[in-house]
Amino acid sequence: MPKTPTRRFALQAGLAAALVPVGHQAAAQTRPVTKVLDFTTSADMAKAEQEGALLFYTHDGEAGAAAAMDAFSADFPKIKASYVRAQTGALYSKILAERSAGRFDVDVIQFSDVGTAIDFDKRGAFETYNSPQAAFYESEFLSDPAGHYFCSGMTFAGIAYNTDKVKAEDAPKTWKDLLDPRWANVTSTKQSTSGMQFVEWYELRKLYGDDYWKAFSKQKPHGFDSRAQLFDRLAKGDDKICALAEWAAYVLYHDRKAPIAFVAPEDGLPATALATGMVSKAPHPEAARLFIDWLMSLRGQAVYQQHPDLLYGSVRKDAPPMPGGVRLRDFKLLVPSDMQDFLGVRKKFNADWNAMLGLL
């Protein structure tokens, strides 16, 4: 199932820099570094515990967001961690509206696509924090300039089908197989607010042109907010095919013995790097720094990579394999590399996708 990988990750913060990867190193750390639990941090622990709270904005589903907060709170019980979750598009609109109104409630934010993080960074909305954990990440997985955000994990998607409803020999093997009329009205996708859905649209449009998605629209796909909804429907047979089947969700449902099979098309699997950073004017800045360090550490990455409601591939240099023994490099991943072009077609994607789903 795994394929030969392509390494085309771009986390550079400036649009011009994003066109050609620029190597960089984290700026010299000026804050004292201390060890807590089994990782180092530059957060002031006494102040973080005095702040006593952390608010995390994330694109993750309820279960995944809660799992991350529960794990952090278990390690630091004096800090009450909470979250707000929504798909990246909706989450971005929410925080921009809040900041425009003079509200600064959030401490750390995570987007499901780097393009959104770049746009947020252009607004000066990330706080610069050079974590001591950055030394464990290649420069391509850190923002440029360093310290604004980092890749907290990778998610990628193929095709999935219900094995009770679809025979293996009939199941789609390639992305173009999704255009077979037999999959009309029985295929699911995410809505346009999903960063992962935007990446799939962008990458397959590059491979096959606009005509691919025009043909796909004739399948009258069903659009949903979260991967849990997609796989719940697939497991029950409400849909036979999932056209945005994230590997993490597949692993979770496979472990639950759901009648679902995963297909990794040879052309590659659309993938997106999660981008996480401390927000400027954070109300709990030391707790925010501690959370960033925790999440970048092996301890936090283990939660992201192993918890069944998360299961993101870690890009940390010393990360162990994902559940099942596979690594990100075992798959051919399709990740946007030209950020200027990627960001430039977001409005077109929103309009086309919403029209396809009948949401205009």
Q: What pLDDT does residue 337 have?
A: 86
In a domain, 141, yes or no: yes
Structural domain that includes position 42: 15-154+273-328
What the block records as the tokens of 261 is 């099979």
Same domain, 204 and 349: yes
Gap between the Cα atoms of 326 and 247, Å rounded: 11
Same domain, 219 and 318: no
pLDDT at 270 over 90: yes
Q: What pLDDT does residue 166 have?
A: 98
In a domain, 227, yes or no: yes
User: What value, to the nearest 5°, has the Cα angle with vertex 271 and ends 266 and 277?
Assistant: 165
In a domain, 8, yes or no: no
| Each residue's pLDDT tens digit, 221-237 | 999 988 899 999 999 99
| Mean local confidence (pLDDT), 31-58 | 98
Q: Give how many domains the chain has, as a whole number.
A: 2
Mean pLDDT value across the chain: 91
Gap between the Cα atoms of 149 and 63, Å rounded: 23
| Each residue's pLDDT tens digit, 311-357 | 999 999 999 999 888 888 889 999 998 888 998 999 999 999 999 99
Q: Kindly report the CATH number assigned to the domain that includes residue 54.
A: 3.40.190.10
In a domain, 333, yes or no: no
Alpha-helical runs (H) found in the chain: 15-19, 45-51, 62-75, 88-100, 114-122, 195-208, 210-217, 227-236, 247-255, 285-296, 298-306, 339-344, 346-356
pLDDT at 19 over 90: no
| Mean local confidence (pLDDT), 55-68 | 95
Q: What pLDDT does residue 360 have?
A: 55
Same domain, 262 and 309: no
Cis peptide upstream of residue 5 (ω within 30 degrees of 0): no
- pTM to 2 decimals? 0.81
Same domain, 75 and 195: no
Same domain, 214 and 291: no
| Each residue's pLDDT tens digit, 135-182 | 999 999 999 899 999 999 999 999 999 999 999 999 999 999 999 999
Same domain, 246 and 195: yes
Same domain, 193 and 281: no
